[in-house]
Amino acid sequence: MSITTPQGPITPAHPRAALDADSVRDAYRRWAGVYDTVFGGVSAFGRRRAVAAVNRLPGTAVLEVGVGTGLALPRYDRTKRVTGIDLSREMLEKARERTAAEHLTHVDALLEMDAEAMDFADASFDIAVAMFTASVVPDAKRLFAEMRRVVRPGGRLLFVNHFAAENGPRWWIERAMAPLSRTLGWHPDFALHDLLDPKSPSVETIQSVPPAGLFTLVQVLNDGLDASAPALAA
């Protein structure tokens, strides 16, 4: 498959490595003990922005998809009722320890669950937020569809994530790292259009997040339109 850059078409040296549930579990079993130390600092800006956006939105029933070790849980307003899910049992254990130690009584449940096939009924939540999760799951569009399903019409979906650069030195680095996806537990070359169509009318905001614009916060209105599909030409 060729990719077009400002310098012309090129062929990537390696195809994207496929992720599956078992490879994600294995990766985050390894990361669980050091995740907060290694990633907590650099991801803190994105988590704060995402939770601040959630706190401003109407509705109390919040689903955090890919809750991990629960780094964001203390930041939610106590008026919100938060349910967190994650595929990694080891990461969830850290989140439960944090919830107990910090007396986070607004956290209703922390559940081991596949984000691409959730056990919740339709329209169970007012808001669903995925922080640094979209590039982890095997199929981001299925994640998006499941989040839309479990959020009520008129609710919001929020994503904060690293999305691959379109060109320049970072473009080359991210694609050079792509074959390591199974070891890392995420896709370094994950692009926004792998999750949704940024031109969809249901996409309300796309905001750059520090440090150095490395992350992006996306807010989507759950209006029944398919924001994952390519926009039709006018």
Of 37, 106, 31, the closest CA to residue 66 belongs to: 31
Quickly state the pLDDT bin for 188 (edges 50, 70, 90). low
pLDDT of residue 227: 84
pLDDT of residue 5: 37
Say yes or no to pLDDT of 29 above 80: no
The two tokens of residue 73 are: 């849980």
Name the more confident of 209 and 154: 154
- Strand order through the sheet with 125-131: 107-112, 81-86, 61-65, 125-131, 151-161, 215-221, 203-209
Quickly state the pLDDT bin for 12 (edges 50, 70, 90). very low
* Mean pLDDT, all residues of the chain: 79
pLDDT of residue 13: 36
The 10s digit of each residue's pLDDT in 65-94 is: 999 999 999 999 999 999 999 999 998 999
Once rounded to an integer, what is the mean pLDDT over residues 114-137?
95
Domains and CATH numbers, the chain: 16-221 (3.40.50.150)
* Cβ atoms < 10 Å from Cβ of 231: 12
Place of tokens 């339709």: 122
Say yes or no to pLDDT of 174 above 60: no
